[in-house]
Structure 1
Amino acid sequence: MKELTPVTIRPPFARYAHGVEIPAHWRIVQTSGQLGIRADDSIPEDAYAQAVICFEALSEILKSAGMTANDVAHISAYVTARDHMAGYMRARDTFMAHATRVPSSTLLIVSGFTRPEFKVEVEVLAAAP
């Protein structure tokens, strides 16, 4: 994959690319949005802890396709308040820490999810040869 961040436009606000080119004939995985809920149905109060759970689930989904965070082309994330952005971004940066390039990224503030306890939801698009 190739990062697309032209020097003629404003640099990204954080550690992401403005676009990512996926080569022809690569396998693509699109995940569903993952919420901050553990396998035992417990939900942490903290947005950072919820985001960590989201990225752990995404890692497992990618692993089942033979992929890792290094194969992520795009991250879409949703938080229920601006106050949750820093926790989400810290978890995202940890998830992407060992990647050799950065994905494109979208972060939205939404009014809520299916249950009021949820503060973060994350999905990824990944691609690999």
Structure 2
Amino acid sequence: MHKALTPSSIAAPFGAYSHGIASAPAGQVIVTSGQLGLAPDGTCPEGVKAQAEQCFANIDAILQEAGATRDTVVRVSGFVTAREDFPTYMAVRDAWLADVTVKPASTLLIVTGFTREEFKVEVEVTAVVPA
């Protein structure tokens, strides 16, 4: 399916991700909007862990709607509002990817905020379903 690109000439990834991904020939590319920690009823849980879990649950729903799985994800972009939330977000992301054989490329940015004060995490992914 996808191939991890992790050259031995650069430092190894310091988390559960690949430096790059070579995708299989694409049959369908899926790009999500940034998902916030909003539950189906519009509520937002408190705390980074619960919000990150909801972000990834939302992404699972989008992937499922497209007939895709976590194994088709080639890139994860995460955004948190505080540096101290980095380990919590990473733990949730790593748990979400635990059964994925080829870990996607991943970026995490620390941002000053989102559209509403209670939002602490946002996640978007790109997936490639092989032809």
Partner of 2:60: 59
* Partner of residue 8, structure 1: 9
Q: Deviations over 1:10-48 (max 9, x none)?
A: 111211000001133431100000001111121111101
Q: Distance in 2 between matches of 1:43 and 1:87?
A: 17
The amino acid that maps onto 2:17 is Y
The answer as to whether partners of 2:26 and 2:129 remain within 8 angstroms in 1 is: no
Query: Which residue of structure 2 lines up, in the alignment, with residue 99 of structure 1?
Result: 100
Structure 2: which amino acid aligns with 1:101? V
Q: Where does the alignment leave 5 or more consecutive residues of structure 1 unmatched?
A: none
- Structure 1 moving runs of 4+ over 2 Å: 23-26
Amino acid at match of 1:2: K
Number of matched residues? 129
SS at match of 1:40: coil
After TM superposition, the structure 1 = structure 2 runs for residues 39-118 of structure 1, keeping only pairs within 5 Å, are 39-118=40-119
Q: TM-score, normalised by structure 1?
A: 0.96
- Sequence identity of aligned pairs in percent? 48
RMSD: 0.9
